[in-house]
Structure 1
Amino acid sequence: MIAIDKFILGGGLVMIGATVFAESGLLIGFFLPGDTLLFGAGILASQGVLPLHWLIIVVVISAIVGDNVGYSIGRRTGKRLFKKKESILFKPEHLERAEKFYEQHGGKTIILARFVPIVRTFAPMVAGIGKMSRGKFLFFNIIGGILWGAGVIMLGYWLGSKMPWVEHFITPVILGIVAISFVASAFHILKEADNRQLIMQKIKLLISNIALNKRID
């Protein structure tokens, strides 16, 4: 097995679990490619690179715990995070999108949102803001975590088992997933003109500070 496979075996589950947790519970993780990551992990599990049962357990637990963190953030901070001006990550439209989804589907939002990027990240916080009881939230959260985590992984596992030739292309598959994830994340942030302008302002400010420090030295 090549070095990159050993890396996946040694730290893959930790990396995958951390990514799922960040996307589910940390608001800055809304751009993370959870679906792509789990689908790719399922393919790798079908080739024996990742242990299927442990993969599902780690992902489901990470998703459930992450959503609970998001719910707690919603109860404690409410909408204050989204009132910051010039914020790339905490945009009001992200919260509004999750709120509309919640209004349409009620408690089922916690389950359905698992399969909708961005909404998946902010739905738990909206539930916390709306004062949904923790018990009710946990009920829907567990169901959604199992359906999404196990479902997407098993879909990738099934596809991988039908394409045994993928075993010879494990490294390109891994690198491809990473590349697609990076490009998708960058595109999501940079597609908005306000974000591009804000990033350029911060880069110029950083360059100015570096130049100023050199002059002082």
Structure 2
Amino acid sequence: MAFINFILELLKDPRAAIAGWIAMGVAPTLGFIFLIVFIETGVVFFPFLPGDSLLFAAGVFAAPDAVTGKAALPLHFLLPVVWLAPIVGDQCNYFIGHFFGRRIIQSGKVKAMTPERIAKTEKMIEKWGPLAVFLGRFFPFIRTFMPFISGISGMRWSRFAPFSVLGGLVWSSLFTLLGYFFGNIPAVQDHFELVIVLILLVSLAPTIIGLFKAKFGKKKPAAHAAQ
């Protein structure tokens, strides 16, 4: 129950969560950030963790304060942590899928791994090959399932790893630096919760659109056949 409350608070206001961690010190804060990003990417049971918004909020704390000129989270410490977490997480998830994937899917324990999401991920792999590993990094849920499905599908690790590393580096750098450069703009500070919601909506939009297409696109051929 405590873990669920922790996740709910993180989803609700990642800035407040990070501020609480910073009160414990820079090292624990970096450890928590690493852990959340790693789990979202590396453990197939937690695709709902807020990677995008967490990185953005962390970037805000890495920007120098307008008054003191000091940052609560030094950027030169933060960046290596957010680079390493998704890369290590992807490799773990790939091998979980490679060795245990079929059994995990058959168990039905991963409720978020719906047939539609699995099918969408598999279609990306079929269409783009290993490039799908890079592209999937930018979509919530898909970025958790992509390395897992890649491991199941038999994609060689030597093909998977380069695109996984590149995707992890670009994704983590992008959202962290967006927070670093734009998070302290007064309009963003005054409407920070709204900005986080917008980040989540933009991130989820392609997945939601894909699910709608998958659901309603199947009805059209049937309708034509009836005519």
Residue aligned with 1:96, SS: helix
The separation in 1 between residues aligned to 2:144 and 2:99, in whole angstroms, is 16
Equivalent residue in structure 2 for 1:93, among 116, 125, 140: 116
Higher helix share: 1
- Is residue 2:168 matched to residue 1:145? yes
**2:125 alignment partner in structure 1:** 102
The separation in 2 between residues aligned to 1:165 and 1:108, in whole angstroms, is 33
After TM superposition, give the deviation of residue 65 of structure 1 in Å.
0.5
**2:91 alignment partner in structure 1:** 68
Residue aligned with 1:132, SS: coil
- The percentage of aligned residue pairs carrying the same residue is 35
Unaligned runs of 5+ in 2: 1-18, 65-70, 202-227
The separation in 2 between residues aligned to 1:137 and 1:86, in whole angstroms, is 26
Q: CA distance change for structure 1 residues 103 and 165 in 2, over 3 Å: closer, same or farther?
A: closer
After TM superposition, give the deviation of residue 89 of structure 1 in Å.
3.9
Equivalent residue pairs, number: 173
- Is residue 2:56 matched to residue 1:39? yes
**2:142 alignment partner in structure 1:** 119
- Between stretches 67-76 and 153-162, larger displacement belongs to 153-162
The separation in 2 between residues aligned to 1:85 and 1:92, in whole angstroms, is 11
The separation in 2 between residues aligned to 1:154 and 1:102, in whole angstroms, is 29
Q: Deviation digits for residues 17-45 of structure 1, max 9, x if unmatched?
A: 00111011100120001001101111111
Structure with more relative contact order (C-alpha pairs < 8 Å, separation 6 or more): 1
After TM superposition, give the deviation of residue 165 of structure 1 in Å.
9.0
Using the size of structure 1 for normalisation, the TM-score is 0.70
Q: Deviation digits for residues 117-154 of structure 1, max 9, x if unmatched?
A: 01000100111112222122111111111101111101
The separation in 2 between residues aligned to 1:86 and 1:32, in whole angstroms, is 17
The separation in 1 between residues aligned to 2:109 and 2:163, in whole angstroms, is 34
Do the aligned residues in 2 keep the contact of 1:84 with 1:90 (CA within 8 Å)? no
